[in-house]
Amino acid sequence: MRLSRFFLPVLKDAPSDAQIVSHQLMLRAGMIRQEAAGIYAWLPLGFRVLKKIEQIVREEMDRAGAVELLMPTLQLADLWRESGRYDAYGPEMLRITDRNDRELLYGPTNEDMITEIFRAYVKSYKALPLNLYHIQWKFRDERRPRFGVMRGREFLMKDAYSFDIDEAAARKSYDRMFVAYLRTFKRMGLTAIPMRAETGPIGGDLSHEFIILADTGESAVFCDSRILDLPVPGEDVDYDADQKPVVDDWTRYYAATEDVHDAARFESETPAEFRREARGIEVGQTFYFGEKYSRPMKASVTGPDGKEHFIHGGSYGVGVSRLLGAVIEASHDAGGIIWPDAIAPFGAGVLSLRPGDAAVDAACNTAYEALVKAGKEPLFDDTDERPGGKFATADLIGLPWQIIVGPKGLAEGTVELKRRATGERESLSLESAIAKVA
């Protein structure tokens, strides 16, 4: 991408109503624009990162055996009456009436609808275990939308739903999602801590919130700091094998959100040196809720015993759009955003310090084309902006590698290579710079 052809409306100053650094940086970097309270347009830079995060979530769901589909944003109110939670859900639900006076709602979550789909087609235990997921916009009319995409009203969520013949099988499905979550957040450079949590309007009795520790987090959390050093399973994780040992490992230390925190237990289980009382951002949550939806909605399958069994369900959400805020909270400096390579909007930048100079143009084009070929998705700053402005923008939007090309260096046969994360700069030949980045 050439910056002169891109749409990157960076701002000098963050609007004063942005209270936390991730919100400020997303506005300054031209990633999002608020269209109404808690409702954002995703500008090209923000949209690129959103898609990368979405793709990592998708790959880890697929790896764990979940199957992607896409359900609509609008749902019939009657479906929620059938599951028994239409009235219980409260004012967070956006209720809509169509021209025929039919009651609809903008889905805040999809347990009811996926159960309806499941029961229409699946009749035998032989189709189980089954896990279906989608990545779709949700709407919750939050009382206090704030902190940008962190607490929006319209937000992008990945939600997966598992179906099993009994509780033992359902717990295996739960464990697979638990491990998939560890891997998903790790790939984004985040350490997410699974914490025992309240189940809220989703229901059920087994649940974990996946929490990123951050001072600006909205939840108070309590955990044993030894969790932070636990290993996350690698790409070769075998989901056909039982994942309980991993889950046991990750749940053997105390970790709980405020809602379920037990101070006496915390103190007895955790030596003082490891006790952490902190704030955290919830980036995902897993639920096992058994027959909560299958019973009222009559979703059952014939078991190996020839009898009908209500299926045992779980649901698993990831806040895809919230993750942008969470990553930035965890990874920034005074200059701007420091993206982990895996989700950076561009893999590298090529900064021309003198567009129009034949040697500089040629070197920039060589670097740009080589990086495109290498799949690095470079951003070529070919604009007339002065060098200081280019450096500031490259750091603000977090280009992980920056190849800086100016006439002085070129005369000596060198360019500069900057690593955003460390601030390190080195002079080297154009070829070496390209080789290092590609």
Distance CA 220, CA 17 (A): 24
How many residues form the binding site for ligand ATP (CB under 6 A)? 17
151 belongs to the binding site for ligand ATP (CB under 6 A) = yes
Dihedral-angle region of residue 232 (phi above 0 means left; psi in -120 to 50 means alpha; beta otherwise): beta
Does residue 375 contact residue 393 with C-beta atoms inside 8 Å?
A: no
The three-class DSSP label of residue 279 is strand
Binder to ligand ATP among 319, 336, 345, 406 (CB under 6 A)? 319
142 belongs to the binding site for ligand ATP (CB under 6 A) = yes
User: Mask 20-59, x = binds ligand ATP (CB under 6 A)?
Assistant: ----------------------------------------
285 belongs to the binding site for ligand ATP (CB under 6 A) = yes
> CB count, 10 Å around CB of 101?
6
Tell the smallest beta-carbon distance from residue 89 to ligand ATP (Å).
Answer: 11
Longest dimension (CA), the chain: 82
Tell the smallest beta-carbon distance from residue 249 to Mg ion (Å).
Answer: 23
Nearer to ligand ATP, 109 or 270 (CB): 109
- Contact of residue 157 among Mg ion, ligand ATP, none (CB under 5-8 Å per partner type): ligand ATP
Nearer to ligand ATP, 144 or 408 (CB): 144
- Contact of residue 288 among Mg ion, ligand ATP, none (CB under 5-8 Å per partner type): none
Distance CA 135, CA 318 (A): 9
> Residue 406 contacts by C-beta under 8 Å, 6 or more apart in sequence?
353, 354, 360, 387, 415, 416
The letter for the amino acid at 405 is V
> Residue 296 contacts by C-beta under 8 Å, 6 or more apart in sequence?
82, 83, 84
Nearer to ligand ATP, 199 or 383 (CB): 199
Nearest Cα residue to 377 out of 52, 18, 97: 52
Instruction: Candidates 149-157, 368-376, 379-387, 405-413: pick the segment binding ligand ATP (CB under 6 A).
Output: 149-157
312 belongs to the binding site for ligand ATP (CB under 6 A) = no
Tell the smallest beta-carbon distance from residue 88 to Mg ion (Å).
Answer: 14
Does residue 345 contact residue 339 with C-beta atoms inside 8 Å?
A: yes
206-213 and 401-405 as β-strands: parallel, antiparallel, unpaired? unpaired
Instruction: Candidates 173-181, 318-326, 339-347, 422-430: pick the segment binding ligand ATP (CB under 6 A).
Output: 318-326
Instruction: Candidates 10-18, 240-248, 297-305, 319-327: pick the segment binding ligand ATP (CB under 6 A).
Output: 319-327
C-alpha distances in Å from residue 74, one per residue of 70, 80, 139, 293: 12, 12, 10, 19
Nearer to Mg ion, 122 or 206 (CB): 206
What are the backbone dihedrals phi and psi of residue 42, each rounded to the nearest 5 degrees, phi first?
-95, 110
Nearer to Mg ion, 319 or 349 (CB): 319
Residues 196-225 within binding reach of ligand ATP (CB under 6 A): 200, 202
Binder to Mg ion among 24, 34, 270, 285 (CB under 5 A)? 285
Nearer to ligand ATP, 128 or 150 (CB): 150
67-68 and 130-139 as β-strands: parallel, antiparallel, unpaired? parallel
Tell the smallest beta-carbon distance from residue 149 to ligand ATP (Å).
Answer: 6
Integer-rounded Cα Rg, in Å, for the chain is 24
- Contact of residue 118 among ligand ATP, Mg ion, none (CB under 5-8 Å per partner type): none
Instruction: Candidates 68-76, 228-236, 314-322, 414-422: pick the segment binding ligand ATP (CB under 6 A).
Output: 314-322
List b or e across 240-250, with b for residues whose CB sees 16 or more CB atoms inside 10 angstroms.
Answer: eeebeebbeeb
Tell the smallest beta-carbon distance from residue 61 to Mg ion (Å).
Answer: 18
Nearest Cα residue to 49 out of 180, 156, 178: 156
Nearer to ligand ATP, 150 or 430 (CB): 150
Interface positions with ligand ATP (CB under 6 A):
109, 140, 142, 151-152, 155, 157, 200, 202, 282-285, 317, 319, 321-322
